[in-house]
Structure 1
Amino acid sequence: MKLTKELSNGILIWVGISIYFLLMKALNLADVFYLRAFNILFIYYGANRTLQSNFKEGKTNFAFNASGALVTSLIGVFISIVGLIFYSYLQGGDNYIASLSASFLFGGDPTVMTYSISLLFEGIVSAVIVSFSLMLYWKSKYPSD
């Protein structure tokens, strides 16, 4: 079974984000907020790979490519959030999230699901922003109407 390029690049996003965060944890840098923000680079990379592949295949329809980039980004975000939920429960559930939220922008005591849902919304927004910014970059490569 051959995976679609959106799914395979979405999985690549998840692998990159997972390795990045595990490496940050191993180096005791998991509480540095600015380093957490770099995960958007993995979303850019995966969505751009989808657009490059489409362009090489001669698929130059702007709307088709915009939806492909967005789907790739969203797949990476959703799989990453599911991975975070499983990892959080393996590390102690709400107690693990409490240690994370101390350096994050949460008030009170978030649960695993509250934390994950808020990160899901953040991820969806970043996926949309990444997709639109990549489409602005790639726009010059597509034929005009």
Structure 2
Amino acid sequence: MKVPKELLNGSIIFIGITAYFLLMNVLGYGNSFYLRLVNIFFVFYGVNRTIKMNVEEGQKDFVSNAVSAMVTSLVGVFLSIVGLIIYSYMQGGDDYVQSLSKTFLFGGNPSIFSYSISLLFEGIASSVIVAMLLMLYWNNRLTTD
């Protein structure tokens, strides 16, 4: 059985983000907000890889490639959120999330659920942005060939 490329590349995004965040925690940089922004490169890599695979298979339709790109990034986002929830409970639950919220965009005392939902919305928004940026890049490349 062949794994769909969206699931494969979404899993690559998840593995890259997970490995990066675990490495940051081990090195003591887990609280650096700016280093957390680097995860966008993993999303760009996975989505670009999906579009490139589609183009190599001869699929050059903008809409189908955009849907494939969105599905890839959303798979990565959902897997990352689930991973964060599991990791948060392993690290102490809401107390761990309280330590994260001090260096992130939250104020007050968010629970794991509210923290995860907020990150889910942020992830969906960034998925749309990444997918559209890469679709514009690939659309320009395909129309000039």
**Same fold at TM > 0.5:** yes
Q: Which residue of 1 aligns with 2:29?
A: 29
Q: Which residue of 2 aligns with 1:91?
A: 91
Q: In structure 1, what is the Cα distance between the partners aligned to 2:117 and 2:39?
A: 17
Question: Per-residue deviation at 1:141?
Answer: 2.9
Q: In structure 1, what is the Cα distance between the partners aligned to 2:94 and 2:59?
A: 46
**In the alignment, does 2:59 pair up with 1:59?**
yes
Q: In structure 1, what is the Cα distance between the partners aligned to 2:3 and 2:87?
A: 25
Q: In structure 1, what is the Cα distance between the partners aligned to 2:74 and 2:52?
A: 18
Q: Which amino acid aligns with 2:125?
A: V
After TM superposition, the structure 1 = structure 2 runs for residues 1-145 of structure 1, keeping only pairs within 5 Å, are 1-143=1-143
Structure 1: runs of 5 or more not aligned: none
Q: In structure 2, what is the Cα distance between the partners aligned to 1:16 and 1:90?
A: 20
Which secondary structure does the structure 2 equivalent of 1:31 belong to? coil
Question: Per-residue deviation at 1:107?
Answer: 1.1
Identity of aligned residues (%): 58
Q: In structure 1, what is the Cα distance between the partners aligned to 2:45 and 2:82?
A: 20
What value does the CA root-mean-square deviation take over the aligned residues? 1.0
Assess if the C-alpha contact under 8 Å between 1:60 and 1:143 holds in 2.
Answer: no
Assess if the C-alpha contact under 8 Å between 1:97 and 1:112 holds in 2.
Answer: yes
Question: Per-residue deviation at 1:142?
Answer: 2.9
Assess if the C-alpha contact under 8 Å between 1:9 and 1:49 holds in 2.
Answer: yes
Q: Which amino acid aligns with 2:92?
A: G
Relative to the length of structure 1, the TM-score reads 0.97
Q: In structure 2, what is the Cα distance between the partners aligned to 1:32 and 1:135?
A: 31
Q: Which amino acid aligns with 1:109?
A: N
Q: Which amino acid aligns with 1:137?
A: Y
Q: In structure 1, what is the Cα distance between the partners aligned to 2:71 and 2:110?
A: 29
Moved over 6 A (4+): none
Q: How many residues align?
A: 144
